[in-house]
Copies of this chain bind each other. A is one copy, B any other.
Amino acid sequence: MAAELIKGLPIAKQIREEITKNVEGLKAKNVSPKLAVLLVGDDEASVVYAQSKQKVGGNLGIEVDLKVMPADTEESVILDQIKAWNEDKDTHGILVELPLPKHITKEAVMEAIDPKKDVDGVHPVNRGYLMGGQEHLALIPATPLACVALAERAGIELSGKKVTLVGRGDTVGRPLASLLIKRNATITVCHTRTVDLPGECQNGEIVVAAAGFAGLVKKEMIKPGTVVIDAGINPTPDGKSICGDAAPDVADVAGVMTPVPGGVGSLTTTIIMENLLKAVKLQGLA
């Protein structure tokens, strides 16, 4: 029996409708939400992501100011640009596409962003609010938020559930752990040093795959009926498409599953825009 799929697009559409209404409300108060995106170099995926933000933003009445800098840009130039955006009252969100070129200190760039404009949730203050259970103050990375939004909007109860989270990275695994704890899930965090990954996955009523490793979560690891949320975005071997962290045949045993492509990843850009509206609010403008 094939798993029921939670598709990202209808949920993204729901959220976009909410955003559109909010944007109209803000414009009526003469606040025109604007997101600044910095792209340094020409990493292929980053170019696509940046353009996608412009497109999605445009459809929502949100201006996305994309600034492209050459790969050999000095760190000080990047920091100056961020400072200018921090000080610009008309710029409400700042996002720097990752990865950055190797000569740039990623942490210095992240910490330069005004936490209240940090729509990617990479500043330590935002991570700290999240860890401290102060979600209302935090701007939170889009992928973990997308995982939670898909589950919640598809009517999947998280409270009291056993969730096995595969992955402990700082953009998905760890922030997602905080979100799930706050939502009363009993979480187990697995990673490369976990001795019995199949056993841990079989223990979960919900398994979230967020390791960034194609096909890591296999059919044999999943108890029939399990909810599988796949946050993986990996290139397929031929480089022509993307695939998840769950092997395709996991769908044969899972009860409910998010597809890749078309699941978690199809929500992230929309959630960045939702974060922008939260940023507007945190700046006292809404």
Interface residues of A (CB under 8 A from B): 107, 123-134, 159-160, 162, 168, 170, 174-175, 177-178, 181, 184, 186-191, 193-195, 200, 203
Contacts and interface: CB of A to CB of B under 8 A. Distances in A.
Number of copies: 2
A184 B133 CA distance: 23
A99 B151 CA distance: 37
A151 to B, nearest CB: 16
A162 B191 CA distance: 12
A170 B178 CA distance: 11
B178 A184 contact: no
Nearest to A171: B132
Contacts of A194: 160, 186
Contacts of A178: 131, 174
Contact of A186 (B107, B123, B132, B200): B200
A236 to B, nearest CB: 29
A187 B165 CA distance: 10
A160 B195 contact: yes
A186 B193 contact: yes
A186 B195 contact: yes
Nearest to A122: B132
Contacts of A124: 124-129, 132, 134
B184 A193 contact: yes
B125 A174 contact: no
Given A127-B131, A184-B193, A189-B189, 8 more contacts: A124-B134, A131-B170, A131-B174, A131-B175, A133-B174, A177-B189, A181-B189, A188-B188
Contacts of A177: 177, 189
